[in-house]
């Protein structure tokens, strides 16, 4: 059974594709973050540029995606980054 996030389509320019490749961020990680944000409504709106921000923690890495809707189940990805935090006590 396919995961729901896999039905999403991403629009990325060449510069964004290279940036994500350099940062080792996959399309699946981006789709998971967007899918969760759209389902739950837990996303931030940037009124300065009409973009949305979504974050998702996958294992020990938090992925943040800046995106905007561009069609039915289609999203334009503006940028994304990953952050790994390990707290030892």
Q: What is the pLDDT of residue 1?
A: 40
**Looking at the chain, how many residues does it have?**
89
Q: What is the pLDDT of residue 84?
A: 86
Return phi, psi of residue 8, to 5°: -70, 150
Average pLDDT over residues 67-86: 93
Q: Are 82 and 72 in contact (CB under 8 A)?
A: no
Could you read off the pLDDT of 15-55 as tens digits, one per residue?
999 999 999 999 999 999 999 999 999 999 999 999 999 99
Q: Are 77 and 86 in contact (CB under 8 A)?
A: no
Average pLDDT over residues 76-83: 96
Give which of 23, 33, 35, 77 is closest to 57, Cα–Cα: 33
> Average pLDDT of the chain?
93
* Structure tokens belonging to residue 15: 């510069």
């Amino acid at each position: 059974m396919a995961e729901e996030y896999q039905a999403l389509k991403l629009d990325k320019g060449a510069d964004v594709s290279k940036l994500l490749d350099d940062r080792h961020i996959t399309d699946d990680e981006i789709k998971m973050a967007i899918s969760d944000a759209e389902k739950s409504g837990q996303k931030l709106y940037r009124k300065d540029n009409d973009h949305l921000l979504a974050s998702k923690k996958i294992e020990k890495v938090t992925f943040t995606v800046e995106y905007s809707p561009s069609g039915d189940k289609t999203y334009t990805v503006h940028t994304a980054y990953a952050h790994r935090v390990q707290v030892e006590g």
